[in-house]
Amino acid sequence: MNAPIGAELDTLRAEAQAHYRDLKARVPVVSDDAIDLILREARSHYAWSDRPVSRETLEAIYEIMIAGPTSMNTCPARIVFVTSEDGKERLKKSLKPANVAKMATAPVTAIIAHDLEFWKELPFLFPHEDRRPLFEGKPAHIEATAFRNGTLQGAYFMIAARALGLDVGAMSGFDNDVVDEEFFAGTTLKSNFLCNLGYADESALFQKLPRFAFDKVCSFA
């Protein structure tokens, strides 16, 4: 671990605070159109155009996603971008029949996974204090932390993709064990969910499904 201390730390903190104050002054809220694009009017897609998705775009999505918060900056998510015919054939083994075509026609299918040894990277990710003892020898805590924060990062991934003009279609209709055997055998990675990614064929959309009203699901304590 090599965390800044003393005057160096004070300078870095002051710069971070000034940067954030400047950002909030310039952009106090995002536009309604931006909110519509990433969440309010966004849709899950199941049909795709043949427009490709470049590696540069995938890297840009990652750079946005990785900025999202995770507990203790654990960053446990790991992603496999399935783009090749071989990769799609391997992934198809895990899918329920109704999901095969959705995956096969998508330019990219991201396997959103998490690493159960994320905590070994904490000296780099959380350098000012050694938090590894909180996890070492505690498999249940490791699994819960990896799954929770990896899922958060998967959500950031979807929002980042939408923010960059892409469409997404998350899928859970598959066998995690088959994915783990095909793509993560002999590793400490476990799959969470799949996310098709590309530029949608909007002609396959149907009406937006209902959502609960605030008072149905929210309360105060």
Structural domains in the chain? 38-203 (3.40.109.10)
Angle at 186 between CA 115 and CA 142, to 5 degrees: 30
Contact 192, 112 (CB under 8 A): yes
| pLDDT tens per residue, range 121-138 | 999 999 989 999 999 999
Contact 166, 93 (CB under 8 A): no
- List per-residue pLDDT tens for the chain, 221 residues long: 678 888 999 899 999 999 999 999 999 999 999 999 999 999 999 999 999 999 999 999 999 999 999 999 999 999 999 999 999 999 999 999 999 999 999 999 999 999 999 999 999 999 989 999 999 999 999 999 999 999 999 999 999 999 999 999 999 999 999 999 999 999 999 999 999 999 999 999 999 999 999 999 999 99
Token readout for 106 is 């998508």
Report which of 102, 113, 95 is spatially closest to residue 151, judged by C-alpha positions: 113
Report pTM: 0.95
At residue 136, the pLDDT reads: 97
